[in-house]
Amino acid sequence: MRPAALDWSVENCTVGRAMSILGERWTFVVLREIFTGVRRFEDMRRHTDIPRQVLTNRLTMLVEQGVLRREPYREPGERLRHEYRLTEKGFDLYPVLIAVWEWGDRYLADSEGSPVTVAHRDCEGTLGVQLVCSEGHVLKSPREAATRPGPGAKLFEAR
């Protein structure tokens, strides 16, 4: 059976676009650092072992994309430096990070377990994500969901 998805163009697909920002290991590692409070270039570099030039490129790209913003600071006796803060657009990546975290913990942790847990402050319960629809229904399985052509759907024409 021919999948209906083949009728529709992926040229303006927002998943593809999101992953061209996110779709590279170090980008997510940078976001993890910033979400866990590590905001300064030298801290990130030493903590993650990302090559200096790669880290510079990722931070620049994330600032250009509006995910991070640069905030000046000055330590006593040092020159003016910048730390990196999440914008609202960056902050809204938290569910993506948690979804990745949850899956990684389930399938990729060492036998002793994951090095970091994300907890609900109120009860210390472990954080995860759940599928929910705009009507407020919680979905138990992806099988309860279906893709539909959206407002920007374009018919697919093979090149």
The contact pattern for a second copy, residues 107-146, with x = CB under 8 A and - = no contact, is xxxx-xxxxxxxxxxxxxxxxxxxxxxxxxx-x--x-xxx
Q: Using DSSP, state whether 62 is helix, strand or coil.
A: helix
Nearest approach, Cβ of residue 25 and a second copy (Å): 4
**Binding of a second copy by 41 (CB under 8 A):** no
| Ramachandran angles phi, psi of 51, nearest 5° | -55, 140
Residues 6+ apart with CB under 8 A from 13: none
Nearest approach, Cβ of residue 28 and a second copy (Å): 4
**Binding of a second copy by 20 (CB under 8 A):** yes
Give the range of 23-31, 54-62, 73-81 binding a second copy by CB under 8 A: 23-31
**Binding of a second copy by 51 (CB under 8 A):** no
- First vs last C-alpha separation in the chain: 22
**Binding of a second copy by 73 (CB under 8 A):** no
**Binding of a second copy by 96 (CB under 8 A):** yes
Q: Give the residue, chosen from 41, 48, 57, 61, that forms a contact with a second copy under the rule CB under 8 A.
A: 48
**Binding of a second copy by 147 (CB under 8 A):** yes
- Count how many residues are written for the chain: 159
Cα–Cα distance for residue pair 123/117, rounded to 1 Å: 13
Cα–Cα distance for residue pair 23/30, rounded to 1 Å: 12
Q: Residues in contact with a second copy, total (CB under 8 A)?
A: 102
Nearest approach, Cβ of residue 104 and a second copy (Å): 3
Maximum Cα–Cα distance across the chain: 69
**Binding of a second copy by 76 (CB under 8 A):** no
The total of other beta-carbon atoms located within 10 Å of residue 75's CB is: 9
